[in-house]
Every structure is written in structure tokens, then in C-alpha cells.
Amino acid sequence: MFDLDPFRPDAADVEIPAVGIGTWHMGEDGSKRREEVAALRHAIDLGFTHFDTAEMYADGGAEEVLGEAIADTDRDKLFLVSKFYPWNADPDAMLASCAASLDRLGIEQLDLYLLHWPGDVPFEETLEGARRLLDEGRIRAFGVSNFDEDALSDLADRQLLDMVAANQVMHNIPHRAAEAGLFPFMAERGIAAIAYSPLEIGPMREMEGLDEVAEEAGLTLAQLAVAWHLTLGLAAPIPKSARQEHLDQIAAAVAAAPLSADLMQAIDAIAPLPDPGTPLPIR
């Protein structure tokens, strides 16, 4: 099992494991379901407890894959996250979406439920739905995804941030915009950060000198990315893989953290922080 300090957002009585496994693209091809279920079970065997999914992923198919994978696992040992569409953000639709996600996952409660990206439903209505889900015990905490600093600042100005426990955004070595303003803003308000697309291997390969840093660390590029996230300590990365050997590599990267100060400085030299105001990438 991993011995990592969890993120402890002030907005909810939850502890978010510092690294998780994503399920984006799982459930899209029925012929791969056995492999995907086996990979997620292998991740559990390796010690991963934090799993992320969404009703958008394969129209609920990823939730079904994850539900099958965790069916024989002690629910209390897992931290399960799902996300709902912005057009399902009014109270009635939100409750229906949550019920469907819980059914596909085969569980009675989500640890964290996220608004997938900002939409047109007034946030006050979304908070009403979140309160109902919290009161009914269907979720332990509520949060958002793909909200930049301006969006969160607007909610803060309207005194609508109190229930937001976490914000899931794109963050990786090639795309560090969240560090320029968003993460400090969130930290001041006790909002935990979760990093999706934490690897970005293609763009990493194009960054001159990064291969040499990984080689010096005795890691692959993917492992370097995971260890970098955990050393930085700003967001919980949720890498995704349906291949057991890749999950073994991710687990080894967790064990390799923290990276030395020299290695972190070398990465900073190759991938410096962007200027404040750099748009937050969304995928």
C-alpha cells in the first residue's frame, strides 16, 4: 500500500488519496472490457484506492467497467469519484444522474461528485442538488472540474464556494498553467486539486532534454511525470492505463517519489512556469 499524505480540503470531511487511476476511454469497446476490468483489479492489488470516472465516459460505460472491477473489493477502502454533465446540473437532473452513476458502479455512495465543466445552469441550483445528495448520503463531497481562476473567483465573490471541496483540471509538465494562479487561489480556500491527463507523453517527448532527466532518474517519461506530480504536491494525478504492465510502472513511480531537488530544477528549466493569465487547457 502507498504511504502518501492525502489531500485534505477544508470544504468537506474527506481525504483524497494523493494519486489515483482514471478511466477515460474505458468502456468504449466491448471487446476490451475483460482487459480493462483486469487492469483496474490489478491497480487495486497494487495499492491504488482512488478511481476517477464520469457519466460522459462511454455514456456510462466506464462506470460499468469500474463497477465490475470493484465488485469484490471492500467499499470502505476505496475513494470513488464521478462527474456529471453541465446540462444535468439542476437539482432534479443531478439527482437522476447520480442515481444512474451509483447504479452502474454498484455502490450506494460516491466519495466525490464533480460538475464536469462550467455550464448554463445557475450554480445556486447546482448547489441545491449537491446539498440534497449530501443530505441523502449519496455523496460525501461535491466539487467541480475545468474551472479556471476567473470562474472560481466569480463563485467566491458570490459566496458560492463553501461546498466546493475539489477542482479537477488538466495539469502536467508540458501544461503548467494551473500553477500560475489557480492552484494558489485554491490552496488559500482549502480546495483540493486533482490533475487529469497528468502524463502527456507525446508532448513530453518533444521537450528537449526531458529524456535525459528521466534517464538520470532511472525512470521512463511516464514515471518521471508521476513522480514529478507527487514531489510537487500541488494536485493528485490520475493517470489512466488499461495495461497491467503500465500500472506496474506507475506504482514504481509512486515509490520513486520524491524526486531530488536537482531533478526538479532540471525539469523547471525545460518546462518553466507560464506567465500569469495563461489559459487553462481543457480536454
Rounded to whole angstroms, the Cα distance separating 8 from 137 reads 20
Residues in the chain: 283
59: domain CATH number is 3.20.20.100
What pLDDT was estimated at residue 222? 96
pTM of the complete model: 0.95
Does a structural domain hold residue 280? no
Does a structural domain hold residue 253? yes
Complete edge-to-edge strand list for the sheet that includes strand 79-84: 20-22, 50-52, 79-84, 112-115, 142-145, 164-170, 192-196, 236-237
> What is the domain count for the chain?
1
Does a structural domain hold residue 2? no
Digit-coded pLDDT (tens) for 165-189: 999 999 999 999 999 999 999 999 9
Does a structural domain hold residue 153? yes
Q: Are 251 and 46 in contact (CB under 8 A)?
A: yes
- Any idea what the Cα angle at residue 114 is, between residues 109 and 120, rounded to 5°? 130
Residue 196 designated active-site: no
Q: Could you tell me the residue range of the domain that residue 153 belongs to?
A: 20-201+235-258
Digit-coded pLDDT (tens) for 120-174: 999 999 999 999 999 999 999 999 999 999 999 999 999 999 999 999 999 999 9
Does a structural domain hold residue 218? no
Digit-coded pLDDT (tens) for 10-45: 777 789 999 999 999 999 999 999 999 999 999 999
Does a structural domain hold residue 212? no
Does a structural domain hold residue 168? yes
Which of 57, 85, 113, 196 is an active site residue? 57
Does a structural domain hold residue 131? yes
